[in-house]
Structure 1
């Protein structure tokens, strides 16, 4: 989790979004994914591969 944004550095979801994902509706999942797309766009991460650390 990024201390600056509060988002997972891999998927850009918040802790709340991650914890409720498995028990949420398809509509809510679409809303979460739309929010993630917006976050990636704002951060410049859209289309960029996720870095892995060894």
Structure 2
């Protein structure tokens, strides 16, 4: 799962914040563009929930 948090822009900060909230978060080794380009699952929550 990759999620953007308000005010968190660096991957390691996002991982730390998500882990603090109980998520099993991990940093992508390459990055989001490479993940998406390889055809892996990407979900977008446009409703904001």
TM score, norm. by length of structure 2: 0.28
Higher helix share: 1
